[in-house]
């Protein structure tokens, strides 16, 4: 698996958005501006979210893990957003049921098998007691980066 970028520029603190599409767009624009994804990435990730929802009703905060196909990616990266206010995402595997989300892990993977592996590693963070609380309450992107990198073994 290629090295996966996760640095301060990829961590968006107190991100505002009126809905999931605005938040996804801002995150995808950030990835594109930094050269990690192609221009097609934003439309592809929005289209995929409409068909395959990524919201997870985790506690104490809902989480979403939007991602899309590898052909839209230049270099592998993870963009993390802590939202100032929750936005609703449809729950993974559901048609209409939504969860208010405060933390988003947007994946830009370059290899097909890397996406599944990263999803499995993220699930460990989501199940770790206190992990989401630590991420949402952090005031510094360096702290979040170090915490997540260690748990994802990046």
Bridge partners of 88? 100
Model pLDDT, residue 154:
86
Mean pLDDT over each residue of the chain, to the nearest integer: 95
The domains found in the chain, sorted by start residue, are: 8-149 (3.40.930.10)
Instruction: Extract the tokens encoding 128.
Output: 């770790």
Q: Is the pLDDT of residue 1 over 70?
A: no
The answer to whether the beta carbons of residues 45 and 28 sit under 8 Å apart is yes
11-23 pLDDT, tens digit per residue, is: 999 999 999 999 9
> In sequence order, which residues have a C-beta less than 8 Å from that of residue 137 and are 6 or more positions away?
none
- With a cut of 90, say whether residue 136 has pLDDT above it: yes
Tens-digit pLDDT profile for residues 38-72: 999 999 999 999 999 999 999 999 999 999 999 99
Average pLDDT over residues 24-44: 98
């Amino acid at each position: 698996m290629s090295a996966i970028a996760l640095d301060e520029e990829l961590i968006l603190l107190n991100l505002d958005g009126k809905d999931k599409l605005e938040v996804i767009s801002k995150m995808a624009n950030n990835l594109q501006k930094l050269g990690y994804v192609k221009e097609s990435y934003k439309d592809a990730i929005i289209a995929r979210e409409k068909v395959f929802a990524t919201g997870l009703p985790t506690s104490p905060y809902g989480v979403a893990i939007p991602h899309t196909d590898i052909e839209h990616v230049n270099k592998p990266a993870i963009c993390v957003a802590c939202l100032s206010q929750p936005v609703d995402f449809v729950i993974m595997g559901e048609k209409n049921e939504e969860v208010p989300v405060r933390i988003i892990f947007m994946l830009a993977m370059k290899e097909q098998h890397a996406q599944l592996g990263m999803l499995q590693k993220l699930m460990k963070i989501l199940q770790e007691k206190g992990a989401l609380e630590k991420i949402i309450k952090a005031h510094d992107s360096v702290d979040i980066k170090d915490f997540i990198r260690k748990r994802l073994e990046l």
